[in-house]
Amino acid sequence: MGVMETTKMRVRTVARTASKSAAREARDEGAPLPIGQILPGDCVAAMRSLPDNSVDCVFADPPYNLQLGGDLNRPDGSQVDAVTDHWDQFDSFAAYDAFTRDWLTEARRVLKPDGALWVIGSYHNIFRVGSILQDLGFWILNDVVWRKTNPMPNFKGTRFTNAHETLIWASQGEKARYHFNYRAMKTLNDELQMRSDWSMPLCGGPERLKHDGHKAHPTQKPEALLYRVLLATTEKGDVVLDPFFGTGTTGAVAKRLGRQWIGCEREDFYRDIAISRIEKELPLDESALVTMHSAKGAPKVAFGVLVENGLIAPGTQIFDKRRRWIATVRADGSLVHEKQVGSIHGLGKDLQGAPSCNGWTFWHVEHNGDVKPIDAIRQLYLLSSED
């Protein structure tokens, strides 16, 4: 190694050391957490400014390192709007691994002992990420498969259609405590245990953010996905950190569910869009945020899926056809009528004093000026999922 190369390495080492020292001093000063802020610049440097053990949950949607070779075209010759941005490109697997280890190390430091780590990825990166987070001491609790109901086809016909992505949910260690709102997840899933395969469509329709007629972000995640993650593993008031904030899906859903958020995003364009988006988001009413913590309609779609996708918003009042009973929808899909709480089926049964109840046809809602059974909203969701 030449003198010049050695000197450059020393300069880089000194610079990194100075950066870490400055971040450590900032943490030691006890500055308040930057709640509701998007920290600019590199996510690793941004996280170094946060105190140890200061956040309850980290949700990370890091670059996938897709390794795309050339343009991707449809059979008609048109070009597919794929991920070709510079932030997803790395010189080698070694470079990607070093980057992954750096941000995961900071995530581990800022997480509370009972905090949760969520990472989403595809086959391009998730196995490398999983190996590194295990090396760092995280303990994998579940791998969750997000099965896309409307995936992009494999236009070349050379492989299976990539119809899913994988989420890793991990705690701080094998013996670490962690939060899991089991009852809320069961209620969200029509009184069935929530499984680790989640079917929901890609982000689309009015939820898909656009700029000059094009997607504002190529990999915008559906809000329903974040809704389920945050409802499952955080509580009202918890601090959620997203190191790869993008256009702010995590912040928007966190605000809606009464969670606090911090973002890291180096792209000015995405930060501007995220801020504008989150400013428009309204938090749920306090009563709608309450979820069930104690103790079968159509099998394909649970009532909670309609709630997390925004087709029936928490706080909505639904009623039986004769309007004898009015119930309020809560964040986990449970219903409350005066002091009685239950699922769409259970509460309907209890109110009627009946042995059973099909909540899908019993409960009605006002939709676009008409009164419809909530089953009609379920059918709208099924149709949209097929698009």
Q: Where are the domains of the chain?
A: 37-69+80-288, 303-384
- Please tell me the distance from the alpha carbon of residue 220 to that of residue 215, in angstroms, as a whole number: 9
Q: What is the pLDDT of residue 301?
A: 84
Mean pLDDT over 212-232 rounds to 90
What pLDDT, on a 0 to 100 scale, did the predictor assign at position 104?
98
Q: Report the amino acid identity of residue 85.
A: D
- Cβ atoms 279, 55 nearer than 8 A: no
List helix spans (H) across the chain: 3-28, 43-47, 93-110, 126-135, 182-188, 223-233, 249-256, 268-280, 286-289, 303-308, 344-352, 359-362, 374-386
Which residue in this structure is represented by tokens 């938090």? 283
- The pLDDT of residue 153: 85
The residue that leads in pLDDT, 168 or 208, is 168
Q: What digits encode the pLDDT tens for the residues 278-335?
A: 999 989 887 788 776 644 333 468 999 999 999 999 999 999 999 999 999 999 999 9
pLDDT value at 242 more than 80: yes
Q: What is the pLDDT of residue 14?
A: 39
Query: Burial, 122: exposed, middle or buried (Cβ in 10 Å; 0-12, 13-18, 19+)?
Result: middle
Mean pLDDT in the chain? 86
Tokens of 378: 């379920």
Select from 278, 249, 243, 282 the least CA-distant residue to 263: 243
- CA triple 330-282-264, angle to 5 deg: 110
Mean pLDDT of 153-166: 87
Across the range 34-50, mean pLDDT stands at 96
The CATH class that applies to domain 37-69+80-288 reads alpha beta
Per mean pLDDT, which of 84-93, 255-264, 360-369 is the most reliable? 255-264
- pLDDT, residue 287, reads 78
> Please, which pLDDT band fits residue 9 given cuts at 50, 70 and 90?
very low
For residue 293, what pLDDT is reported? 60
pLDDT, average across residues 208-224: 85
As a whole number, mean pLDDT of residues 246-253 equals 95
pLDDT of residue 120: 97
